[in-house]
Amino acid sequence: MNISEVSKKYNIPTDTLRYYEKMGLIPSVNRRESGTRDYSEIDIKWVEFIKCMRSAGLPVKVLKEYVDLFMQGAGTSKRRKEILLTQRDELAEKIKELKKTLKILDAKIDIYDTELQRHEKKLKK
């Protein structure tokens, strides 16, 4: 799969894919004789993982550390798990805060609905 196909499939700009590769977040992608990138199934799995982690808010620096540790092998599994657990806790806290924000927004929206109904009743009199 070439970079344009990966870009379209995962809705990631090609420049971002190149950046991820340059930063070492996606291990070096093989190239065809023409020089174009040829993403393998393993490369695609990395793209999926990186997209998921970035969507969860993980900084590039943290992802870089994780990928570097992964490439070093099984001896780093404890540290990799620690990274994921820390990031999971941070994400859970963000979700908690977002739920609070959503509750406040819902309450504000309800006020608008109530006020609208009150004003409509006045207009019908």
CATH code: domain of residue 48: 1.10.1660.10
Q: Provide mean pLDDT across the span 12-24.
A: 95
Find the domain containing 76 and state its range.
Answer: 3-124
Does the CA dihedral 20-24-27-33 come out positive or negative? positive
How does pLDDT run across 104-115, given as a tens digit for each residue?
Answer: 999 999 988 788
Q: At what angle do helices 60-72 and 77-124 cross, to 10 degrees?
A: 150
pLDDT confidence of residue 7: 97
Residue 120 has pLDDT above 70, yes or no: yes
How does pLDDT run across 46-62, given as a tens digit for each residue?
Answer: 999 999 999 999 999 99
Residue 125 has pLDDT above 70, yes or no: no
Specify the number of domains making up the chain.
Answer: 1
Q: Is the pTM of this model over 0.95?
A: no
Buried b (16+ CB within 10 A) or exposed e, 74-98: eebeeebeebeeebeeeeeeeeeee
